[in-house]
Structure 1
């Protein structure tokens, strides 16, 4: 049995590169928002509002790539847990190639229907924000195949226990993102077009790096004969077993988030800008939690691959508690510092006041965050994606959307109402995930034995 000292060491080895990566990535994302928001006067507010609006819409499609990345992570992790590097390599290859083809199809569709889709969904936003949004998305969507390659490639590397390469690729992409965005916004003065070009070119550079690493075999995995790719449905079935539920969950979940963004869009540019800035800072606070979510998927996946069921339960419980402690500390620190953090983005008094209160409100909910995000990360590592899908969809549409509309629109609580509904969603999902963790059903999935046995593994009671 794995002792606590070994588990802590494993968390540190996997988690520190991810933590550094996410700190740099989120910080650079904040800087990107700052670069846009610091444009003169109303221009800055409109640009930030447009980017925030399009990011919410983009995540709906990016979630497909993320889902495939989760599937690749879990399958590779379970093969590596069994010590089968050959099958881990083949699973990685199938994941990367399938994600590439799917992303190209999505990009073609969005390129054709760009403007009609944006106008249909965001028909209540201000005209200038709408115009900027259409221009921004028309460029950014062309980078989706590069993002898909990066997500799935980094996912399979993490599944193999190599979190350093994934961290390096993201850091490289984000350094180029900041540099190019600054160049295009403030030197060439290209406005919203410059912001779109900066992030798109950076994604292409990041994808090129991580793909080169995988093809060269410099790390634990190696992709071979990509130019003679043939679908291997055994591995694709395993990846999709996790990826499809995760994808459905993520798409419907982000549809709900998109709808709440529409609610906020009807509240005006100040509400949209305040929400964007607050979420940018909240993402910084959530870095340890997001890092530990990724760690939980890898560790639990490898333990399930080794049939270490008791250890998987103990590991997931510990990782969740550890994440909660980290987030509560950071949440408490954000209460007195929120105003100063917001001031880095804007000097607009109304936006500063609104965003500050949103960050302070979020701090009160940090104790429940890990139970609704880190826990399902581990459950997915065990292949329990269908349960997390059903739970997330129910929580999103019943509580976050339903209560969000009631609190934010009907009762006119504004973005505060949207946030409160979100916290209720977290609490409900976290409770359901805790109940799942205490049972044995989530341990009955062993993806790497799918073709060989096609039967559930017998679980021994603790």
Structure 2
């Protein structure tokens, strides 16, 4: 990364931004490929298998997103310390992040393994017995992988915080190659179905965690754990991490719980709707790759600017990254809109499910171009400034008021089916966009003391 000592000089050159962004773009593409590979390969087992993987993945995302919020907190703290040129405290905060993630992910994994069936029954209610059987198998193995995906996310966030996104990209590459190869071997070679897909994901996450922890200990890494004693929990750095991590975790948690409520609503529409929704969610992530990439890039860029006291640069880079996100989303969504009739044929769905899936994805493409980046990329600039409580409040209120409640109204009162579920989400995006744009324009998000 290129940075200058003079306060008036740009902290990130165009070359530095490109060096940060292109590995993130590849990493996000690989991440989406992993999700689609699971769905595609399990699709051959039948719609019950697709439905079970979809339902459990929505629960997995809830748990992983809550825990990953701690990684966001650690990345914000580390990036601001690096912007201030305080590598000693940056390294200590990194060690504390690993400790917090290790303890929390192991605890959550054990609870989910012990209570897998009651949790699934509580969240998804009455579902077909075949779907429940597949779901429990997938959930048990997924729970074993939580500590590994947690450590991977933490390490990846810390590498991005210093502008080194190449390492997290390589770790994602390792994880995806193992996952896809494992899917081919276990699902098709040994006929293990859902269990094979889960085991392949687990093995990939183990290797990714080991790889990124090994890279963390490179002598040239300013955020490496220098002494084993640094891993012992300490109040001040943990509180700094939690000041961002807890609001972000609550935001992610309530967001995903809301999505689970909507998933429960979708499950009442039948196996065809569940399968169509699963594929639509998987395919739509392809179009979101540019937005997710810029969301990841925003944390280190804005964090380092604010750590160095460069508020004008923080504003300027926020607008630049948002503009790139919107442009990229326009390209990918336009492409998916026209290719969707062909793409949906990859998933072995029934004619009814295919038509349903194509319909909602087309609507997604239109709304995503105008509202996705301002809903999900822009708030990362606010979080990098320590404004996590505001983003939490807006996200929770908008999620429950619009995405959840409106979805139930659209489905149960207006009988719009799966389309009603997705329109509740679109209205949620519009509300978030308005709130975050106003907050950004006023500049209050840069006034927080984070370190």
Same fold (TM over 0.5): yes
1:405 partnered with 2:423: no
Q: Does 1:432 align with 2:438?
A: no
Q: 2:27 aligns with which of 15, 21, 40?
A: 21
Secondary structure of the structure 1 residue equivalent to 2:191: coil
Once residues 251 and 174 of structure 1 are traced to their aligned partners in structure 2, the CA distance between those partners, rounded to angstroms, is: 26
* 8 A contact 1:122–1:130 mirrored in 2: no
Please give the TM-score of this superposition, normalised by the length of structure 1. 0.93
Q: CA deviation at 1:240?
A: 0.6
* C-alpha deviation, 1:446, in angstroms: 2.9
Report the Cα distance in structure 2 between the residues aligned to 1:162 and 1:311, rounded to whole angstroms. 20
2: CA distance between counterparts of 1:375 and 1:348?
38
- Partner deviation per Cα, 1:436-462 (whole Å, 9 max, x = no partner): 0011320111312xxxxxxxxxxxxxx
TM-score w.r.t. the length of structure 2 is: 0.95
Over residues 396-417 of structure 1, what are the superposed CA-to-partner deviations in whole Å (9 max), with x where a residue is unaligned? 0000001011112332211111
Alignment of 1:34-53 (within 5 A): 34-39=40-45, 44-53=46-55
Contact 1:65 1:151 in 2 (8 A): no
Corresponding residue number in structure 2 for 1:260? 262
Aligned-residue Cα RMSD (Å) equals 1.6
Give, in angstroms, the shift of residue 227 of structure 1: 6.6
Paired residues for 1:116-155 under 5 Å: 116-155=118-157
Q: Distance in 1 between matches of 2:412 and 2:216?
A: 48
Q: Does 1:420 align with 2:426?
A: no
CA distance in 1, matches of 2:204, 2:94: 23
CA–CA distance in 1 between the matches of 2:138 and 2:126?
Answer: 18
* 1:445 is the counterpart of 2:438: no
Q: Secondary structure at the match of 1:221?
A: coil
Figure out how many residues of one structure are paired with residues of the other and give that number: 444
1:158 pairs with one of 157, 160, 163: 160
Structure 1 gaps of 5+ residues are 449-462
Per-residue deviation, residues 324-349 of structure 1 (Å, max 9, x unmatched): 12112221222211011111222522
Counterparts of 2:387 and 2:349, CA distance in 1: 46
Which of 359, 373, 376 is equivalent to 2:361? 359
Detail structure 1 runs of 4+ shifted over 6 Å in the superposition: 1-5
Per the TM alignment, residue 190 of structure 1 is displaced from its structure 2 partner at its CA by 1.2
2:18 to 12, 18, 33: 12
Q: What is the CA deviation profile of residues 182-233 of structure 1, one whole-angstrom value per residue up to 9, with x for unaligned ones?
A: 2111111112111111111111111011011112435443113337731121
**Structure 2 gap ranges (5+):** 1-6
Distance 1:217 1:54 in 2: 40
Distance 2:132 2:227 in 1: 44
Number of the residue aligned with 2:371: 368
Assess if the C-alpha contact under 8 Å between 2:378 and 2:436 holds in 1. Answer: yes
The residue number in structure 1 matching 2:231 is: 229
Counterpart contact for 2:341–2:358, Cα < 8 Å: yes
